[in-house]
């Protein structure tokens, strides 16, 4: 299947890897794998302790108002620029959408004035300099901008591994004109993985359906939430995928944590697992499944997959002091 | 009468249907709330105001809506009632079924966003006190965010979540710090400087007071 994601120039500016509350507390390996990939691909980045959570879960459960959210986003832009790393790179698609929405709203003079009245209390200002410097990118866009380098870095070929994308709504649908590719049939994750030899799934029925989480719905209307998730799991099973890759931790929670629950409740078999795009890519490039990808945090049993792609043998090699990456042969699957 | 955007503003929106639609919906019967004007003037509607005004009730929003498919919700109806300035929206429980997936917004041929309209109406319901029942499960998020800089799960549901998600998830909860250490991802929390600024922003924008029921 040919690559359809549009090529973009390398994003060479200085990056602030924007920490995500859900990645930090649920899948910290996603952050570690992203850093590891940035290092492999020569992306200059920092993690900024002055950055705060975007308010996303509070905003989308309607306990945080929009003025608070915009002020927090404006402040985070200020601290990224202050640190000299104005390219905010998002691990979470909700962080991505919220900060872009704030960017647009802050272009309106009345809204910027109102927000700056708040920021003045903390000695900050979202001014033209900040607005012109700060940039917003999903982490996958940063990686894609360097994708020609990936092929030469592959240590574990993923040949025969069938991969499907769960496109994150807050990446694809909030700013559809800014998506890298077609938001209704996003191929960015699979195209990023192409040099590893995966078999791409492309479009499948329900591809554009959301994960089911719906913020409050997961807790308040679990029946509706699970019904949505189940539809997607069934369609993915029909297509015979091995791994469904994610680009948003909230989607990842919905699928990883509920996959077996729904399977048992519905009496249906969904023989595949969920990983973040960065985790699967890092594994293909030779990363350690535990110390880089943090697979222990997942609810699904990932061991069969790790064995299949030859990522488990490396742990024992590393345990006796060998170089985990260099010592391992490429394992065709 | 309801206050619509100035004609000049509508013209700036460069949507050929906007002026037509503004006339068509300018005098809905029974609206004394100014609700349509309040929705249109919300900053989040900046790229969607003309879209709402030119909604032609095609229903593409509803055809892709998970809450319409699996629940009793119609984004098309919300759009129609918003255009009419229907004040019963302010006590409508169905807006709380929206999943904020934005499928309606991304597919709307007019650039309308029912997801955004839902969020605006939910905010109005919270601020009037009516909607507090719908957010009661989540208000602790704000307190935890104020205290630590991180949100959390609804604590009332923690046992149920743990039951559903099982031992592996409890293992994560109990060993998160060790896992993070092994992964070298640093502190879970923002800096003290960031926390001070975050709390000041939350205080200044009335973030926590907003969730208190009004005194009788």
DSSP secondary structure, A162-177, as one string: EEEE---HHHHTSSGG
3-state secondary structure of A8: coil
For A301-322, the pLDDT digits (tens) are 999 999 999 999 644 444 444 3
CA distance B136 to B211: 9
pLDDT over 90, % of chain A: 93
Q: What is the pLDDT of residue B14?
A: 58
Contact B149, B190 (CB under 8 A): yes
Please give the structure tokens belonging to residue A28. 């910290």
The whole-number pLDDT of residue B155 equals: 79
Share of chain A above pLDDT 70, in %: 94
ipTM of the complex: 0.92
Q: CB distance A63–B176 less than 8 Å?
A: no
Exposure on the CB side of residue B96, measured as CA atoms within 13 A: 23
The confidence score (pLDDT) of residue A329 equals: 34
| pLDDT mean over A191-207 | 98
Contact A152, A259 (CB under 8 A): no
Quick one: pLDDT at residue B31? Answer: 54
B141 touches chain A (CB under 8 A): yes
Cross-chain CB nearest to B197 (options A75, A101, A292): A75
Does B1 touch chain A if contact means CB atoms closer than 8 Å? no
Q: Is B131 on the interface with A (CB under 8 A)?
A: yes
The pLDDT tens digits for A103-152 are: 999 999 999 999 999 999 999 999 999 999 999 999 999 999 999 999 99
The answer to whether B73 touches B67, Cβ cutoff 8 Å, is: yes
The residues of chain B scoring below 50 in pLDDT are 1, 27
- B66 close contact with A: CB closer than 8 A: yes
User: B168 CB near a chain A CB, below 8 Å?
Assistant: yes
Predicted pLDDT at A55: 97
pTM, rounded to two decimals: 0.91
Largest CA distance in chain A: 63
Q: CA-CA distance, B139 to B119, in Å (whole number)?
A: 16
Q: What is the pLDDT of residue A326?
A: 37
Tokens of A167: 């496109």
**DSSP H or E segment with residue A90:** strand A87-90
d(CA A59, CA A276): 24
Distance from CA of A196 to the nearest CA of B (A): 24
- Determine the 3-state secondary structure of A299 from DSSP: coil
pLDDT at B156: 79
Q: List beta partners, residue A199.
A: A162
Q: Which member of B70, B131, B172 has the closest CB to residue A297?
A: B172
Dist. CA A265–CA A122, nearest whole Å: 51
Per-residue pLDDT reduced to its tens digit, A235-287: 999 999 999 999 999 999 999 999 999 999 999 999 999 999 999 999 999 99
């Amino acid at each position: 299947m040919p690559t359809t994601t549009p090529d973009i120039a390398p994003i060479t500016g200085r990056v602030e890897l924007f920490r995500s509350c859900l990645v930090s507390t649920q899948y910290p390996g996603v952050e570690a794998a992203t850093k590891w990939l940035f290092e492999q691909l020569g992306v200059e980045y920092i993690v900024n302790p002055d950055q705060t959570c975007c308010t996303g879960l509070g905003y989308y459960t309607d306990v945080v108002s929009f003025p608070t959210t915009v002020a927090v986003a404006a402040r985070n832009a200020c601290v990224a620029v202050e640190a000299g790393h104005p390219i905010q790179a998002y691990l979470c698609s909700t962080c991505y959408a919220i900060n872009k929405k704030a960017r647009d709203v802050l272009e309106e003079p009345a809204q910027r004035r109102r927000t700056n009245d708040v920021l003045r209390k903390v000695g900050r200002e979202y001014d033209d300099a900040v607005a012109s410097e700060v940039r917003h990118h999903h982490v996958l866009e940063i990686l894609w901008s360097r994708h020609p380098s990936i092929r030469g870095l592959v240590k574990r070929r993923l040949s025969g591994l069938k991969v499907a994308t769960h496109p994150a709504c807050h990446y694809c649908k909030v700013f559809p004109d800014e998506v890298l590719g077609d938001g209704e049939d996003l191929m960015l994750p699979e195209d990023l993985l192409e040099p590893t030899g995966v078999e791409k799934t492309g479009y499948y029925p329900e591809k554009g359906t959301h994960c089911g989480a719906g913020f409050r719905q997961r807790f308040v209307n679990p029946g509706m939430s699970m019904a949505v998730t189940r539809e997607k799991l069934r369609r993915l099973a029909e297509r015979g995928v091995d791994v469904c890759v994610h680009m948003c931790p909230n989607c990842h929670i919905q699928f990883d944590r509920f996959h077996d629950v729904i399977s048992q409740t519905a009496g249906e078999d969904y023989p595949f697992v969920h990983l973040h795009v960065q985790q699967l890519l890092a594994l293909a490039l030779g990363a350690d499944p535990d110390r880089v990808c943090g697979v222990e945090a997942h609810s699904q049993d990932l061991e069969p997959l790790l064995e299949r792609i030859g990522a488990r043998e490396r742990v024992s090699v590393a345990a006796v002091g060998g170089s985990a990456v260099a010592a391992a042969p490429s394992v065709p699957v | 009468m309801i206050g619509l955007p100035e004609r000049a503003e509508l013209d700036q929106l460069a949507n050929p249907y906007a002026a037509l639609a503004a006339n068509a919906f300018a005098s809905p019967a029974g609206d004394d709330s100014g609700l349509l004007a309040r929705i249109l003037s919300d900053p989040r509607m900046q790229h969607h105001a003309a879209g709402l005004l030119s909604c032609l009730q095609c229903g593409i929003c509803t055809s892709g809506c998970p809450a319409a498919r699996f629940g009793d919700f119609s984004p098309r109806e919300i759009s129609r009632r918003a255009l009419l300035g229907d004040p019963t929206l302010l006590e409508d429980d169905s807006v709380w079924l929206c999943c904020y997936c934005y499928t309606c917004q991304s597919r709307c041929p007019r650039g309308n966003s029912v997801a955004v309209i839902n969020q605006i109406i939910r905010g109005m319901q919270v601020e009037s006190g009516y909607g507090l029942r719908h957010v009661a499960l989540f208000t602790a998020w704000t307190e935890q965010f104020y205290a630590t800089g991180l949100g959390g799960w609804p604590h009332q549901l923690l046992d149920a979540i743990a039951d559903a998600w099982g031992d592996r998830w409890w293992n994560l909860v109990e060993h998160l710090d060790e896992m993070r250490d092994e992964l070298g991802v640093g502190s879970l929390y923002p800096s003290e400087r960031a926390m001070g600024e975050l709390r000041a922003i939350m205080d200044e924008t009335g973030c926590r007071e907003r969730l208190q029921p009004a005194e009788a």
